Chain A
Amino acid sequence: MNFLEYAPAPESPSILHLRKEYGLFIDGEFVKGHGKPFATISPSSEKHIAQIANANAKDVDVAVAAARRAYDRTWSKLSGADRGKFLFRIARLVQERARELAVAESLDNGKPIKESRDVDVPLVAAWFFYYAGWADKLDYAGLGASPAALGVAAQVIPWNFPLLMLAWKIAPALAAGNTVVLKPAETTPLTALLFAEILQQAELPAGVVNILTGAGDTGAALVNHPDVNKVAFTGSTAVGRAIAKSTAGTGKKLTLELGGKAANIVFDDAPIDQAVEGIVNGIFFNQGHVCCAGSRLLVQENIHEEVVDRLKRRLSTLRLGDPLDKNTDIGAINSREQLDRIRELSDIGEAEGADRWTADCAIPENGFWFAPTIFDNVSTSSRIAREEIFGPVLSVLTFRTPAEAISKANNTPYGLSAGIWSDKGSKILAVADQLKAGVIWANTFNRFDPASPFGGYKESGYGREGGRHGLAAYLQTSIDAGASRTPVAARTTITKKVTK
């Protein structure tokens, strides 16, 4: 037998007890939505998972009102210590139901179970645990004495790390004393709804967290609702830009975590085996559906061939397939729409003359799949070197000197993350100094921790999530206190301007 064709080792979905349909989670209860319900499917099989309620503007009103009521009557009156205890409870419940959440995430999102089990869900628990401890220590956050909460936070999250992004948003918001209305992505609502059940088990006061499922229009209605004080968005730069415009002049505090086109810089003195692993992890983790993915490999010219050769051999060992199989390395692409975009950009890369190489792996019949792909000899002006592909596609470029590496790495409107591989400490620190990116991984890649701030420069957004810095996004600073806002009457003209 061929040992490497490991026998199937699927995680059983029988651990899940899903409902046939899910309502909106408003004021502590699941309620019917007023929009047209939609189905969530498994991207690896295209099979129906559950029917999901769709929130329209009226539901948004109700949810924001519930959050406001909870803020005024309950949450703002609670001590920091008690807020912290609720967050600790949530962290523990996530740990207790970790396997179930991991299976649901892989089912709904398509990511390999080993990632949802070993990365996403443990980080979710860690995020709540970390921010739980801050809730009664806000005086020490460096924002002055007794920093005030903002009020109601509107949060819109993407489909690539559905539950983890929820944790990144909700944990600091609640620790800082805000209440929340959160909208998960249309294609991945499942774990947010399971999370709502966890909130019920934790006996979190009604209305403190409300979860609205729906598509882009639900998100737009939420962030543009006049009674929200804070908007937090993770997603595409295009939508982030629209939100920055629509919230201009409203006084809503805004944090945006948007796209990226990270350079992963490999110098000729790099620890080569670890660098190859880092490149693989940088772009093929979560099928490349990662805003901070190392999608541009910048490799020093004198080791270019060796690195690409090692990379191809390594990629040939990646296992693509059933996300629930514990040995799967590459899962399904999250949606047909995303698959189409990856295909389109890859075709463009080929048409632009880059050398395409695709790992030889069997593609399942049903579902959305894209085999790990490398484009070699990509030029800096190529679209695949500039646009975020958000898929398992790596563009390889070369450089000759550190200065050239820095200049090419920074030559992008984005600035979320970057990688540096070298055994020479002084070079690493000097290069890190000059990279315009919010997160720099040296001799590692795609590491996340609740204590570590995450967020980008330039068009990758503003504000930081994680760490002490992540609290500042949900508390008033002296600048927020003095900020001007236009009278409500003037806002209609603003909305008009955005839509043009």
Chain B
Amino acid sequence: MSRLAVPKTYKLYIGGKFPRSESGRTYEVATAKGAFLANAAKASRKDARDAVVAARAAVAGWTGATGYNRGQVLYRIAELLEGRHAQFAGEIASSEGISLAAAAREVDAAIDVWVWYAGWADKYVQVAGNGNPVSGPYFNLSTPEPTGVVAIVAPQASSLLGLVSVIAPAVVTGNTVVVVASETAPLSAISLAEVLATSDVPGGVINILTGSPAEIAPWLASHADVNALDLAGAERLDWVDLQISAADTLKRVLTPVTGVPAPSLDRIVAFTETKTVWHTKSLI
């Protein structure tokens, strides 16, 4: 007689904790072939609000950490993902309906994305910043800084690779994020949250919501305490409305992409603010 499996309860990930949706709602997640997989939490606008509060609270500490430290924290995520490679491959294969080998390749790629971005933590300032030769006796330096709290609609396909490809460039600089996972394949997002919870990422730096992006995204787009909006996975939503709504507080917005955004420095810089500091120079 085979052993009876113990299924997992999938919850939200907010402020380093795993709450159920305050609304008590869940929705059925099925395999690509339609078989029941799990009940995922269906986040409400209040969950989104709580996630923004958690993300804002985490900004000071995460932004204040050294680049060297953030780089190690991100690399640590890659290490832990590697150790749970098989679990993620299995989850992806069943929920996305792709072969185990293809799922394994997606996990490989996701791990490599963390490693790639981890290395930028103590370099992006050098590459995106400038010493400026102004015409006068002034020290003048431009450096990029994290913009603050970034709300993200994750790519709907490639549920793990898409997710890490939007989270990593935002958090590597010191931003904190509230990310709405793939609606149809949210399970690997919550499993990633379990990785994050046991990694060195401080609570609140990455907050993950599952549920309906169409329902949650407008609340994030209009939230005055959100500084930027990544609509990477919002192609099928009424994303122009979201962008218009974000303009009320002049949030920085990245528009939808088809598929998974390729690793790029531009994505890192997109959610930074260039600060230029002048100071007088004199010997006397």
Contacts and interface: CB of A to CB of B under 8 A. Distances in A.
Q: Do A and B come from one complex?
A: yes
Interface of A: 126, 142, 237, 240-241, 244-245, 248-249, 251, 256, 258, 413, 415, 428-429, 432, 435-444, 447, 449, 451-455, 457-459, 461-462, 464, 467-469, 477-479, 482-486, 490, 494, 497-498
Nearest to B139: A442
B276 A485 contact: no
Given A438-B276, A443-B280, A453-B142, A494 B250 contact: no
A444 B278 contact: yes
A447 B257 contact: no
A73 to B, nearest CB: 30
Interface in B210-252: 227, 235, 239-241, 243-244, 247-250, 252
B134 A449 contact: yes
Given A458-B250, A468-B130, A449 B243 contact: no
Contact of B244 (A258, A443, A459, A497): A497
12 contacts: A248-B253, A258-B250, A437-B275, A439-B276, A442-B279, A444-B278, A444-B279, A447-B136, A454-B276, A467-B132, A467-B142, A479-B266
B99 interface: no
Most buried by A among B133, B135, B247: B247
Given A449-B135, A449-B140, A442 B250 contact: no
Contacts of A483: 254-255, 257
Contact of A439 (B239, B247, B256, B278): B278
Given A461-B250, A467-B142, A494 B240 contact: yes
B267 A449 contact: no
Given A241-B250, A248-B247, A457 B273 contact: yes
A451 B136 contact: no
B102 interface: no
A240 B250 contact: yes
A241 B275 CA distance: 22
Interface residues of B, number: 44
B249 A458 contact: yes
B266 A440 contact: no
B270 interface: yes
B271 to A, nearest CB: 11
Contacts of A442: 277-280
A432 to B, nearest CB: 5
B276 A453 contact: yes
Given A241-B250, A452-B134, A482-B261, A142 B127 contact: yes
Contacts of A436: 273
Contacts of B264: 478-479
A482 B274 CA distance: 23
A500 B235 CA distance: 25
Contacts of A454: 276
B266 A478 contact: yes
A423 B127 CA distance: 30
B252 A452 contact: no
B266 to A, nearest CB: 5
A458 B240 CA distance: 20
A455 B142 CA distance: 11
Nearest to B142: A453
B267 A479 contact: yes
Contacts of A251: 255
Contacts of B267: 479
B138 interface: yes
Given A432-B277, A451-B134, A467-B132, A484 B235 contact: yes
A447 B138 contact: yes
A483 B230 CA distance: 11
Which 6 A-B pairs give the minimum distances between C-beta atoms?
A: A249-B240, A244-B247, A449-B134, A248-B243, A442-B279, A484-B256
Contacts of B241: 497
A461 B128 CA distance: 19
Contacts of A244: 244, 247, 250
B170 to A, nearest CB: 13
A449 B256 contact: no
A263 to B, nearest CB: 14
B226 to A, nearest CB: 11
Contact of A451 (B127, B128, B133, B266): B133
A440 B255 contact: no
Contacts of A440: 275-278
Given A241-B250, A438-B276, A498-B244, 9 more contacts: A126-B135, A248-B244, A415-B273, A429-B277, A436-B273, A444-B278, A444-B280, A452-B142, A482-B257
A457 B149 CA distance: 13
B129 to A, nearest CB: 9
Interface string B158-176: 0000000000000000000
A413 B227 CA distance: 11
Nearest to A481: B266
B132 A477 contact: no
A434 to B, nearest CB: 9
